[in-house]
Amino acid sequence: MSRSLVALSALAVALVFAPAAHARGGHDHPQGGHDHGGPPHGHGSFAPDSLRSSLTRERFYFLMPDRFANGDTSNDRGGLTGPREVTGFDPTRKGWYHGGDLKGMISKLDYIKGLGTTAIWLTPSFKNKPVQGLGTPYPSAGYHGYWITDFTQIDPHLGTNQDLTDLIAGAHRRGMKVFFDIITNHTADVIQYEQKPGGPAPYDYVSKAAVPYKDANGNVFDDRTFAGTNSFPKLDANVSFPFKPVVSDAEKNVKVPAWLNDVTLYHNRGNTTFSGENSTYGDFAGLDDLFTENPRVVRGWEDIYDYWIRNYGVDGYRIDTMKHVNLEFWQQFLPHILDTARRAGTPRFFAFGEVADSVSNPFLSRFTTAGRSQAVLDFPFQQQAREFAASHPTDQLRREIDEGDWYTDADSNVYQLPTFLANHDMGHIGMFLRDDNAGAPESELLQRDKLAHALLFLSRGQMPLQFGLQHLEPGRITLGRQAAVGPDRGGEFPERLGQDTADVWVSQRVVVAGQPAHVGQRAGQHADRGCLVLQGFQALPQADRHGGLPDAAGIEPDALLGLAQRVVHPPDLAAQQARLAEPLARRVRHGPLGEPAGDPAQQVGHLGTEVLDGLFGRLHPGRAEHQPGSQPRPGADECLDDPAGRRGLGAERQDEHGADRHFDDVLA
């Protein structure tokens, strides 16, 4: 690589990480930040804040209430009686309710706060259709929250509206926000289709070119003409659609508010294949797809989500399936809810969308610019972080950083995008690393896992930490909705979830090179896999409180570039990682210009373990610096065995037969 190209690349990364001048002497930051005074522990001056707004600093803890903690066993069946096909409850099977609820979350708020969390993000918690798919080979329950029938109440399996009030109040007392995961694209699957005489057979998608929409009088019209306006033609279920939409008598009024029961307010064109026209008009796996071009639907969604802001003090929304809704809808809906939040006394309300595209920043940025969204989840970052940790060539990572300006407009920029490594739909990062490095030993997967988290923690954006990732090990994680373990569960839910599972237990034990070892037994370099993430997440509040990472910690703009330029497919991963660690290690331990006291390879060992432990241990409030003459930083065993409410592992539970019972590698 030429010297000029290296310099240009360094400049590109520097633009992402470059700090802006931070007001000192007690003056407010022009974008809402504040001077935090001098650095602690005698470290030199702090790196000033970067050019980003105050809505870029959340540290989300993202969880699925049903898979977190059970605070009230009386609601496990949602007030229903009968078999699981009625109640949806079966904690022994992956696709059914397991019993977690809002009271369980309330009982763990101190633990969640202790992770360094500033905002809790819940998967949808409104009342769901308990079970779908009966009569098919794969029935399952709405434990995940995406099959909503009543948008005005909490799902009875998760608790009550009062429980939500208590949860939000408890979070706010601890300085944390609460974000709802919301849906505007669809409801539960209630509408069925009947074939019209001479018409197409359900349920394959029928294009508008093949069968255009007709108004109630049979006149053909283009709905896009009316999108974003205050008028829309009157429709008729018998005339307007390719199929006749029908609802069983038992479910004619199941949706709340009542306007959702009007079948003419849905697209009614068949199932999407997630491409072209049907990406926004088709039913998402049969779920009833709203006619969001119709202003009646726009007003209806505004009323619903205004309600939760005004009456419950919700601090923000994560918006599901954003790319499957027309852009004109977002141009009306998003400014409206932000105005509602301001009027309700929440001026820093934040809404970000799911636009599931890992390739095109120009496409994603349409939703933050033309679409008026404050941010979208950074799927391209996730893809490049995964490839970076797998030692793929880093040209695409550099391009991802370079393309950040696609998101710049008058009121938002790339810093607002939540970055992530994994989620409940895609799976855990450990699964990706295992798949990308077939046959790699656990020790290597652990190092790669930590490398991915280094990129996540030290680069732009605000990050959601998915529940459980601070405990679970990379090589044994499967999909993204398994039940939480360890302190998340507080020792609860020790049932063996035996469907489609591996022969490895993940609960009070971590697996070390294929052998179970109790947490607290540090088996060489294979000690607890999750403590890194926990410490990293906790480190961030200290750095953030003081206006950025201390200069003494030395995270310079070229730190990650130094890694990115050299990551290859190494024949000796440990030796290669020691070399990769050098530029970051020098800065972590001795500041931007200081030389390390010894060989960086000996100091750091390998990137995955020592570099990040050194950084996070140094920044963690109350942790001693890991230097000669100081007390060593607590290890992974103390991380999960401290008196601050994070232990919760308890003694091993036994079932009624006296056998040990642990969580499996539960698939979702």
Instruction: State how far the Cα of 356 lies from the Cα of 364, in Å rounded to an integer.
Output: 8
Number of C-beta neighbours around residue 302 at 10 A: 16
Residue 205 is encoded by which pair of tokens? 């998608």
Q: Is the peptide bond before 203 cis (omega within 30 degrees of 0)?
A: yes
| Strand partners for 654 | 660
Q: Which one is catalytic: 320, 488, 495, 625? A: 320
Instruction: State how far the Cα of 596 lies from the Cα of 312, in Å rounded to an integer.
Output: 53
* DSSP 3-state of 510: strand
Query: Where are any strands of DSSP class E within 60-147?
Result: 60-63, 119-122, 126-128, 131-132, 140-141
320 is catalytic: yes
Pairing of strands 140-141, 192-194: unpaired
Instruction: State how far the Cα of 611 lies from the Cα of 357, in Å rounded to an integer.
Output: 32
- Going by the DSSP 8-state scheme, the letter that residue 201 receives in this structure is P
Instruction: State how far the Cα of 484 lies from the Cα of 155, in Å rounded to an integer.
Output: 20
DSSP 595-650: PPSS-HHHHHS-IIIIIHHHHHHHHSTTPPP-STTSPPPP-HHHHTS-TTTT----
Q: Which one is catalytic: 150, 354, 449, 664? A: 354
Which residues 6+ apart lie within 8 Å of 278 measured at CB? 205, 207, 269, 270, 272
- Going by the DSSP 8-state scheme, the letter that residue 195 receives in this structure is P
Residue 58 is encoded by which pair of tokens? 């959340």
DSSP H or E stretch at residue 583 = helix 573-590
Residues 264-293: b if buried by 16+ CB within 10 A, e if exposed: bbbbbbbbbeeeeebbbbbbbebbbbbbbb
Residues 406-425: b if buried by 16+ CB within 10 A, e if exposed: bbeeeebbbbbbbbbbbbbe
Catalytic positions are 320, 354
